[in-house]
Amino acid sequence: MYATPEQNDFFYAMLYGMAGTAVGWLFIFTVRQSRRLFRQLKLPIYINMMIEGVFIGTIAYRYPCHGTLAMMN
**pLDDT for the residue numbered 54:** 92
Residue predicted with more confidence, 52 or 8 = 52
Same domain, 47 and 18: no
Looking at residue 18, its pLDDT comes to 96
Same domain, 13 and 35: yes
Q: Could you give the count of Cα atoms lying within 13 Å of 50 in the half-sphere of its Cβ?
A: 5
Identity of residue 56: I
- Who wins on pLDDT, 38 or 18? 18
Give the angle 36-42-43 at the CA atoms, nearest 5°. Answer: 115
Report phi then psi at 5, rounded to 5: -65, 145
> 37 and 52: one domain?
no
Does 72 lie in the same domain as 51? yes
For 17, the domain range is 1-42
State residue 49 phi and psi, 5-degree precision.
Answer: -65, -35
Count: domains in the chain: 2
